[in-house]
Structure formats: structure tokens, C-alpha cells
Amino acid sequence: MTENTETTLVREHDLAEEHIAGGLALSRAANWNQNEADWRMMLRLGKGFGLSAADGTLVASIVLLPYGNAYAWMSMVLVSPGHRRLGYASRMLRRALAWLQSRAMVGVLDATPAGHEVYVQEGLRDTWGFQRYSLPAAPPLSGWQDVSGLELRQIADGDWPQILALDLPAFGASREPLLRALAARLPEAALLASRGGKICAYLLGRDGREARQLGPLVAADLVSAQALLSHALARVPGPWYMDIVDRHASLRSWALMQGFSVQRPFTRMVHGAQRAPGDNRNVMLVAGPELG
């Protein structure tokens, strides 16, 4: 079959509830960690587009997650292994960029090395990077050492105003619905650190197909970041993934000391702006490439 014939045989459509199984098959085929709850959450919070073959099989996807009015995350760019290099990812991306442009929104995504090749050609530019660290189900080597003045506890309803105030300048866009959804996904990992009653760090996590993902972790300092992670690793069974921002070299060394190993790199890319939103000095762990 020629490229052109194949391309005309697929149908472009919005993603809805009935495409969740197909989306899951795509992410599983790419060895990604999303489970059904992730697909449900993303389609509830955002807008998905897909390409289906004549027999109804979903062969390509993209999901847009608007964060506030100015930015949207571009997520779940997936093409089934048997349909790659036919221009489907580029087509999905152009569909998403048109959707963003009609709303005057900037698009941001976290690219795998394979995706990076597609995105550069569609005009996205590199900003900063992070790496996925993984640890199989094994007890962490060292626990949380008490640091005087730092209080750790589970997030309660009344904490959200302070958490959102910490998150907004770090992430650079409002993502309250996502953060609240994650807190409900894995309450044991929904933790905060405070000093003198003032919240200085928070952590969220979620279940996944292969591992529990820890993140986002936004922290004013390394000590509170490590304290929250140690606390979470002691409470939440593995295996674990966490995506550490490259600039936080001390946290990366700490993760290696706990037994984590580096799995793969990601590059944060933007379309329609010079730089990625936010200030990553306090972003220790991103939420994950599909969420930002």
C-alpha cells in the first residue's frame, strides 16, 4: 500500500470514552506507563484527537490539556507500531496546533527522542530537560532522617490555596483540576512539608501500568524535597518512576544512592513562545511527560 492510499484510509475524529481501550493499546505498545485511569483523567480534563483505520482500530492519538487560558500540554502523541512513518504523528500535531492557535494558546510538550524529530519539523523549540528514574519493587536504602523544624503530613483540603500558590510560579500555569485529581489517585503519596506552618514543598503521585509515578514535586529546597520522597517511598509500594529535572544535580545523585537508575531522557519543547512557562528552580520532579 502506498503512503497516500494508506493516509486516505484513516478517519480523523475526536477522542471519547469509547476510544479509551484503543488509547490504552497504543500507550501499551509504546511501553508507556499510563493505565485506564490516566486516559480517563486526561480525556476528562482535556481534548483528544485520533485517527482510526477502516476497521475502527485507533492508530494514532494526541491529547491537549489546557492549563489556564494561556497554555496547553500536548500529550499522548502515539502511533501504532504498524502505522509509523506515514505522517500520522505530524498530522495529529498539526491538528492540535490549529486547535491551540484558534484559542491563542501556547503549546508545550515533553518529547521522547523519537517524538523530538517530529516536533522540530513542526516548529517546536527545545527548552530544558529531565530524565526518568526508575526503581523496581525493593525497599529504599535509607529512610527519612528527621530534620528539625520540618513537618511532613498528608495533604488536607484546607492546604490547597497554599499548594496552588507554591505551584503557580514554579509550573507557570494554573493546573488545579489536575493536582486535585492526582491527590485522589494516590492519597498515600499526596504529601506536604511545612516549616512554621508555611508549606515549603508538596508531592503527588499516581498509580500506573508498570510503576507508581511520583511527581509533581515542587519544593523550595532540597532538604524538604528529599524528606517528602523518603516519606513517600516508605509508604507507597514500588516499583516507582520519577522524572527529575536535569538542573537538580543533588537530587539526581540522591536518587542514584537510593538505588534508582536512569531510564530515558525527555526534552521540554514549546510552540508559540520563546521559553517554557514557569521557573524550574523549585520543580524537582515534573508530573510526567504526559502531564507537564
Binding site for ligand COA (CB under 6 A): 30, 77-79, 84-90, 111-112, 114-115, 117-118, 121
Q: In the complex, what is the shortest distance from the CB of residue 47 to ligand COA, in angstroms, rounded to a whole number?
A: 17
Q: Which is nearer to ligand COA, 124 or 163 (CB)?
A: 124
Q: Which is nearer to ligand COA, 31 or 274 (CB)?
A: 31
CB-closest chain residue to ligand COA: 115
DSSP state of 175: -
Q: In the complex, what is the shortest distance from the CB of residue 216 to ligand COA, in angstroms, rounded to a whole number?
A: 18
Q: Which is nearer to ligand COA, 14 or 117 (CB)?
A: 117
Q: In the complex, what is the shortest distance from the CB of residue 241 to ligand COA, in angstroms, rounded to a whole number?
A: 16
Q: In the complex, what is the shortest distance from the CB of residue 71 to ligand COA, in angstroms, rounded to a whole number?
A: 17
**Alpha-helical segments (H) within 59-213:** 88-101, 113-121, 160-171, 176-185
* Residues with Cβ within 8 Å of residue 6, at least 6 apart in sequence: 83, 86
Q: Which stretch of DSSP H or E encloses residue 150?
A: strand 150-154
Alpha-carbon distance 286 to 292, whole Å? 6
CB 60 within 8 A of CB 81: no
Q: Which is nearer to ligand COA, 116 or 231 (CB)?
A: 116
Q: Report the Cα 59 to chain-centroid distance in Å.
A: 22
Name the residue among 100, 213, 216 with its Cα closest to residue 168: 216
Q: Which is nearer to ligand COA, 81 or 237 (CB)?
A: 81
Q: In the complex, what is the shortest distance from the CB of residue 186 to ligand COA, in angstroms, rounded to a whole number?
A: 24
